[in-house]
Structure 1
Amino acid sequence: MGSAWWRRTRAQVEARLPMPITHVVPVQHTETAPVVRRRRRVVAGVSLLGTGLLGLSLSTKPNSKEFYGLTAAVAATWTAGGLLSGPLHLGWIQGRDQHLRRPVLTPVATGVGAFGFFYGCALVARSIPVLDRAIGKVLVFAEEGSGPLVVATTLANGLGEEVFFRGAMYATLDADRAVAASTAVYTLATASTRNPALMLAAAVMGTLFGLQRRASGGLQAPVITHLTWSTLMVRYLPPLFRHAHQETP
């Protein structure tokens, strides 16, 4: 009896396991020519505005009104640009039983795994002076800022970035090159901060988010992964680099 129950339970669990991230859900969204033209115009303009605001936000003092105002403006710019560009889709995840479900547990687990990977890399980066200083300069905003405000701005920007880069921008690109191209633009936008650690994180996570967007056909998976990863990063990474920003003049 117990053995039969275990076999049934295992079979049910295995059936609900997601397909590999390289598997693309067979759901397509077609867009009219006017929607495509409008999306491209919006994406071009918002890319320049958002990139400029992002660079300014990290040139302000931590826990200052300017910092919170500019980071809120960055999040609003990305989000508004994505929503105004045209229709966006949540996407699906396909289980091994071939059923389509909205992605929730898998992207949460992916976000936790990504944080674990970055935490391990952070332990190594502390021994590399250029990365130690670069990461410390970013995390000082979390270390010295108001906890609730830091979390709120972090999550708002994570959501906005996905709505714009994996939503609006991804939809304007050729499907075969969308992952690489959207990640490249995402990384270039981060270059406005002049921080190599942020650029490296954007390249790695942008690739992961892009793969999730391609596999699921929508935003829900990359959004949940991004928010999970960001929350853990801003909560647990700052203490590792407290020495770096304390030494920064």
Structure 2
Amino acid sequence: MTALARDLYNSIALDRDPDPGSHYVRRRWLVGVFLVIGAVMLGISLRVEPGDTAFYPLTVGMAVVWIVGAFVSGPLRLGAYSPVASRPPDRLGAIGLGTVVGLAVGAAFVVGGLIARMIPGVSDLANQVLAFADYGSLAIVTVITVVNGLAEELFFRGSVYSAARPHNPVLVSTVIYVLVTMASGNVMLGFAGAVLGTVCAILRRSTAGVLAPAITHVIWGAIMVLALPPIFA
């Protein structure tokens, strides 16, 4: 095994192991503080009327909260992955995995959208969220969605995931993500958060870093903003 392969292997192995220590107490406190702030901002931002210009600074502010919280609470790992057992994991593998999963999850949600639009109650809940793309600038909403997706992964699959170890971080980080998402008051967003959160947490576990889940979330978010509004129009 080459020195690079050994370093990558050791990095991933160490990241997956429980890592108790005094710094975890600090990380968990900071994560809790930023969770409360972010949940409040999410609830406010998605309760403004579609077309209200306050939506933009609120959602940008929410992204800032997640990003600051992620970096302030402790170190983050990008992670690595190899689809072939004989090849050492690397960043390119993580990028490829995140891209493929993002496209697959996005496609699954589009198919789900085609079905959901025929169910009155479900369709109404979806339209409450998609209305922001209809009434606002599509380009700006897309950028905000992508940036917030990246910010959420840095925080939830980075800081929250790490702070949850060794207590089943995949489950804990996903449950917390869903609870925060439900601050929006929209059940459909909670459902989407449960599915996406689970997928991204598994990617975090598989690659020992935030790179793959961040790419998946960004691609999924872009597909949702660009593909779903025409379906529910």
Q: Calculate the TM-score normalised by the size of structure 2.
A: 0.89
Counterpart of 2:54 in 1: which secondary structure?
helix
Please, which of 69, 79, 98 is the counterpart of residue 87 of structure 2? 98
- Name the larger-Rg structure: 1
Counterpart among 44, 64, 70 of residue 82 in structure 1:
70
Number of equivalenced pairs: 218
Amino acid at match of 1:94: S
Partner of 2:121: 130
Aligned partners of 1:131 and 1:219: how far apart in 2? 31
Aligned-residue RMSD, C-alpha:
1.5
| Amino acid in structure 2 at the alignment position of 1:98 | R
1:22-63 deviation digits (Å, cap 9, x = unpaired):
xxx943137573421221111010011100100000111223
> Residue 27 of structure 1 corresponds to which residue in structure 2?
13
Matches within 5 A, 1:216-235: 216-235=207-226
| Counterpart residue number, 2:99 | 108
Aligned to 2:156: 165
Residue 142, structure 1, aligned to residue 133, structure 2: yes
Percentage of pairs with the same residue: 35
For residues 160 and 85 of structure 1, the distance between their equivalents in structure 2, rounded to whole angstroms, comes to: 14
1:36 maps to: 24
Aligned to 2:185: 194
Deviation at 1:241, TM superposition (A): 1.2
Whether 2:196 is the aligned partner of 1:205: answer yes
Give structure 1 stretches of 5+ with no counterpart. Answer: 1-24, 243-249
Letter in 2 for 1:129: P
Pairwise CA distance, 1:64: 2.4
| Equivalence for 1:47 | 35
Gaps of at least 5 residues in structure 2 are 1-10
The letter of the residue matching 1:125 is A
